[in-house]
A = this chain, B = another copy of it.
Amino acid sequence: MRNPAIVLVATQMPENIGAAARAMMNFGLTDLRLVAPREEWPNKRAHDLAGHASGILDNAKIYATTREAVADCRRVYAATARSREMVKEVWPPAEASARILAEAVPTAILFGPERTGLTNDDVTIADAIITIPTAPENASLNIAQSVVVVAYQWFVSAWQQEKESRDNDAAPYAIPGRKLRGQPGTTGPQASPVAHKSEFATKEDLQVLFDHLERELDAIDFWKVADKKPKMWLNLRNIFTRNALTQQEVRTLHGVIAELRDS
What's the least CB distance linking A30 to chain B, in Å?
10
Q: Which of A28-44 contact B (CB under 8 A)?
A: 28
- Knowing A22-B142, A142-B22, the reply to whether A27 touches B156 (Cβ < 8 A) is no
Q: A145 on the interface (CB 8 Å rule)?
A: yes
- Knowing A149-B148, A156-B92, the reply to whether A25 touches B138 (Cβ < 8 A) is yes
Q: A141 on the interface (CB 8 Å rule)?
A: yes
Q: Which of A132-146 contact B (CB under 8 A)?
A: 132-135, 138-142, 145
What's the least CB distance linking A132 to chain B, in Å?
7
Residues of B within 8 A of A52 (CB): 138, 140
Residue contact A135 to B26, C-beta cutoff 8 Å: yes
Roughly how many angstroms separate A134 CA and B92 CA in the complex, as a whole number? 20
Query: Of B19, B25, B134, which one neighbours A155 at CB under 8 angstroms?
Result: B134
Besides A25-B135, A53-B138, 14 new A-B residue pairs in contact (Cβ under 8 A), listed by A number? A19-B145, A22-B145, A26-B139, A26-B140, A26-B145, A27-B134, A28-B135, A51-B140, A132-B152, A133-B155, A134-B155, A135-B155, A145-B145, A148-B149
6 A-B residue pairings within 8 Å (CB atoms): A19-B145, A22-B142, A25-B138, A27-B135, A53-B138, A135-B155
